[in-house]
Amino acid sequence: MGSTLRLVGFGPTGWGGTLLEGAAVTLALSICAYLLGLALGALCAWGRLSGGRAVRGTIDVYTTVLRGVPDLLVIYLFYFGGGQMIGAIAHLFGATGFFGLNGFMVGTIAIGLVTGAYQTEVLRGGYLAIPKGEIEAARAIGMGRLLMLRRIIAPRALRFALPGMGNVWQQVLKESALVSVTGLAELMRQVNVASGSTQLPFDFTIAGFVLYLALATVSGGVFMGVERRLAHGERMARRQRA
Amino acid sequence: MRFLRPLAAAVLLAAPALAPAAASAKTYKHITIATEGAYAPYNMHAPDGKLIGFEIDLGNDLCARMKITCTWVAQDWDSMIPALNAGKFDAIMDGMSITPARLKVIAFSRNYSQSPTVFLVKKNGPLAKMPDTGLAVSLDNKAAADKAFAAIKPILKGKTVGVQVATIQLNMLNKYLKDTVTIRSYKTTQEHDLDLAAGRIDAALASTAYFVSTLSRPGGNAFVEVGPHFTGGLLGAGTGVGMRKSDPELKVMFDKAINAAIKDGTVKKLSLKWFKVDISPAS
Amino acid sequence: MMAELSFLLDVTRQLLGGLPLTIELVTVSVAAGALLAVAMALARSASRLAAVIVSFYVFVFRGSPLLLQMFFIYYGLGQFAVVRESFAWPALRDPTFCAILSLALNTAAYTSEILRGGLASVPAGAIEAGRAVGMSRGLLLRRVVLPLAIRQALPAYSNELIEMVKSTSLASIVTLMEVSGIAYALVSATYRAIEVLSCAGAIYLVLIVLLTRGVGWVENWLSPAGSRA
């Protein structure tokens, strides 16, 4: 036990600092991928709800493909293909030479795209859950479209979509481990490196579990706090009605 | 193709953050060298996360000789060559052997180290009695190779051998011992070491230079190298710096620097420091 | 062009060689995971202590990456001589068993949550009605509770099945040559990553579309025509 603590600790022979750095990279990667997925999901949910047939068809293909292909393959595809694609775009603008996507960008784009497909469904569900009456009421008092979006639709849809969004966040956090295959020094990668270097995989996978669970618990708490805050108003309204 | 739109949009979003991975013209001021960081003592991670090892020291020495600055990146072994050709970095220094198959897709500098391939087994296991231990066998000599494999096949029959994926050692197993042993391929050499210790495999196949690190790790005294020392043929002509074929000027620079480093004894000195034996090639 | 096409066909043919193993991994681990999930759901309602243990299990397996779980079971446990000398070692020694074990333990955690949601969704009125007409506990479970709970849980479970098919691609990490394992070997042999990975992706996509269709059919079958208002 003492030797394990020394190994994962912060001394000169300890991997603690490296593991914590890995956890920080995991967190940063997850946040970037989540934001990208959220933006994509919002865009696609809007397209699904109000777009023409072509737009809806396109979005259907996107969500079906990205949800039907293992994320590991998506990450590898971007890892090898992303550079070529950007190279091609860059050459159009007259740039020369090679362009590379590093592991962080590959992870952000790949996981962002995958979770964008999930977010589309979550956000669409959130919008559909808004009672028709609320939208009609807003129209009746003469709200403009933008004001209605800002004051009624967005907050209400967000409220209904929040549990689903929390699930997607947890998923992103765990999927970020797959980005270790690109060599990005995130938590899973550091666990692998430390296990192999010391020949003590048990000690380091346990440390990995603890760090991932801590990340999941703390960030899950944030989502729950927001959820409670948004639900707060709801309870008040009901109480007043009673 | 319309479904590619969200994808292209995402790529464009990320574009401002991009930097060209290499100097565009053919004058090199700065290059990025990839290594695995998990192939000790060629290259490995220290507990603080820094890259260290024979190739890190040698690479930095070569860069100083070439008067360019170098950045190191850690990168998975099995995607090393596609990633080089995709432009993720400019050179590979990762114990990569110069083989005819690899020369079809990338260019190599001259070799900077040479070390034979050998089996590692448990000291108290059945394979510890493998014949011809230490015998030098060149796969270029067909008669000698056939004789050597005929000698070790009976004891290897039905055993499981672990090897890193996409290596010359895997190619050797596939060519000579496919019907004799069960081959299991790993993402890193450290993982087949873990499985050899756990007893999931009966032997691991890698270069003697790599096994120096396995044997010196805690618990390494449970293992022993057995069987012939294989070289030549599909095992290639030692390890070199891998580069894109489109960078011939860089190859010239590396060749010159490596020649100089061999001549003044730097390669030998670094080899003794990291491997305890001299694996520097004859100039 | 022809050479390109024959390359893709050859790659696809080789990748399909890994399909039986992929399917084996999915079916065995899903079946084992479902059994474990049912057992956990029962244990949860049986005792307080069991409920605490089950929720901790669910917390750990849902809160950490499957890749880490697989790595732990395969490499981590083998670190100890005690484990290597135990009765379980012949099984744990085998990478296929380790992959199936970690996939099953992982899906059991998710399935037990889905099951819990499904059971909670059965309206109290339906159960009371069943009791009122004198149904026994077994009959009530078989004719009222389970059909309603399964019907409710099926969409979420179908998502879980899809996740499982995709998750089997991680088994290549523990040296298994299923579809993804073969894909990575082909990438390192041919250096043509994009073509090989696209073929592998297409195989998974077909598999998952078929699976989705199948579950949709079961869902339809469980919804009597009259109740689908």
- B78-101 pLDDT, tens digit per residue, is 778 888 988 889 999 999 999 888
Are B183 and C95 within 8 A, CB to CB?
no
For the record, the structure tokens of A191 come out as 């666990």
In 3D, which of C21, C167, C178, C151 has the Cα closest to residue C108?
Answer: C167
Q: Where does A31-184+207-241 sit in CATH, by number?
A: 1.10.3720.10
Are C168 and C33 within 8 A, CB to CB?
no
The per-residue pLDDT for A234 is: 62
Structural domain contains residue B55: yes
For the record, the structure tokens of A71 come out as 């994320």
Residues B229 and B121 in one domain: yes
Residues B196 and B128 in one domain: yes
User: What is the Cα B95 distance to its own chain's centre?
Assistant: 3
Give A113's pLDDT tier (boundaries 50, 70, 90): very high
Q: In the 3-class helix/strand/coil scheme, how is A173-193 assigned residue by residue? A: HHHHHHHHHHCCCCHHHHHHH
Q: Do B165 and C184 touch (CB under 8 A)?
A: yes
Peptide bond into B154 cis (omega under 30): no
Name the CATH superfamily housing domain C22-167.
MetI-like (1.10.3720.10)
Q: How many CB atoms lie within 10 A of CB B125?
A: 17
Q: Which long-range contacts (CB under 8 A, 24 or more apart) does B182-189 make?
A: B182/B158, B184/B160, B184/C95, B184/C175, B185/C175, B185/C185, B186/B162, B186/C175, B187/B76, B187/B77, B187/B78, B187/C173, B188/A192, B188/A196, B188/B36, B188/B38, B188/B39, B188/B77, B188/B164, B189/B38, B189/B39, B189/B164
The per-residue pLDDT for A7 is: 73
C175 interfacial to chain A (CB closer than 8 Å): no
- Within 8 A by CB and 6+ apart from B132, the residues are B148, B151, B152, B227, B228
Give me the sign of the Cα torsion angle B10, B11, B16, B21: positive
Q: In the 3-class helix/strand/coil scheme, how is B83-98 assigned residue by residue? A: HHHCCCCCEECCCCEC
What residue ranges do the domains of chain A occupy? Answer: 31-184+207-241
Structural domain contains residue B180: yes
The per-residue pLDDT for A91 is: 67
Q: How far apart, in whole angstroms, are the C-alpha atoms of residue B104 and residue B99?
A: 9
Q: Reduced to 3 states, what is the DSSP secondary structure of residue B42?
A: coil
What residue ranges do the domains of chain C occupy? Answer: 1-18+177-223, 22-167
A73 interfacial to chain C (CB closer than 8 Å): yes
Half-sphere exposure (CA, 13 Å, Cβ side) for C4? Answer: 3
**Residue B70: which CATH number?**
3.40.190.10
**Average pLDDT value over all residues in chain A:** 85
Q: Reduced to 3 states, what is the DSSP secondary structure of residue B183?
A: strand
The per-residue pLDDT for B22 is: 46
Residues B183 and B47 in one domain: no
Q: Which domain holds residue B40?
A: 29-114+237-275
Residue of B nearest to A60 (CA): B3
Q: Do A205 and C59 touch (CB under 8 A)?
A: no
Q: What are phi and psi of C86, to 5 degrees?
A: -85, 170
- Within 8 A by CB and 6+ apart from B89, the residues are A100, B21, B22, B31, B32, B33, B34, B73, B75, B83
Q: List, for residues C38-85, the tens digit of each pLDDT value.
A: 999 888 878 899 999 999 999 999 999 999 999 999 999 988 888 888
Structural domain contains residue B5: no
A209 interfacial to chain C (CB closer than 8 Å): yes
Chain B residues touching residue A102 (CB < 8 angstroms): 88
Residues B123 and B226 in one domain: yes
Interface of C with B (CB under 8 A): 75, 78-79, 84, 93, 95, 173, 175, 184-185, 187-189, 191-193
pLDDT tens-place values along chain B, 283 residues long:
444 444 444 444 444 344 444 444 467 899 999 998 888 899 988 888 789 999 999 999 999 999 999 999 988 887 788 889 888 899 999 999 998 889 999 999 999 999 999 999 999 999 999 999 999 999 999 999 999 999 999 999 999 999 998 899 999 999 999 999 999 999 889 899 999 999 999 999 999 999 998 998 878 899 999 999 999 899 988 999 999 999 999 999 999 999 999 999 999 999 999 998 889 987 6
Residue of A nearest to B47 (CA): A15
Chain B residues touching residue A183 (CB < 8 angstroms): 37, 73-76
The per-residue pLDDT for B10 is: 42
Q: How many CB atoms lie within 10 A of CB A21?
A: 16
Are C220 and C52 within 8 A, CB to CB?
no
Sheet with B43-45: list strands edge to edge. Answer: B38-39, B43-45, B51-52
Residues B177 and B243 in one domain: no
Q: Reduced to 3 states, what is the DSSP secondary structure of residue A110?
A: helix
In 3D, which of B79, B91, B63 has the Cα closest to residue B260?
Answer: B63
Are C147 and C222 within 8 A, CB to CB?
yes
By DSSP bridging, strand B107-113 and strand B182-186 are: unpaired
Q: What's the gap in Å between the CA of C12 and the closest CA on chain B?
A: 20
A71 interfacial to chain C (CB closer than 8 Å): yes
Residues B34 and B166 in one domain: no
Mean pLDDT over residues A213-227, rounded? 91
Residues B184 and B82 in one domain: no
Q: How many CB atoms lie within 10 A of CB C71?
A: 26
Q: Do B20 and A190 touch (CB under 8 A)?
A: no
Are A16 and A9 within 8 A, CB to CB?
yes
Q: Do B87 and A61 touch (CB under 8 A)?
A: no
Are A101 and A109 within 8 A, CB to CB?
yes
Give me the sign of the Cα torsion angle B117, B118, B119, B123: negative
Per-residue DSSP letters for A144-181?
-HHHHIIIIIHHHHHHHHHHHHHHHHHHHHHHGGGGGG
Amino acid identity for residue B33 in this structure: I
Chain B residues touching residue C189 (CB < 8 angstroms): 166
Residues B106 and B177 in one domain: no
Q: What's the gap in Å between the CA of B222 and the closest CA on chain A?
A: 13
Q: How many CB atoms lie within 10 A of CB C137?
A: 10
| Chain C interface, best mutation among A30, A76, A175, by max C CB count within 10 A | A76
Structural domain contains residue B59: yes
User: What is the Cα C69 distance to its own chain's centre?
Assistant: 14
Q: How far apart, in whole angstroms, are the C-alpha atoms of residue A194 and residue B47?
A: 7
Residues B194 and B101 in one domain: no
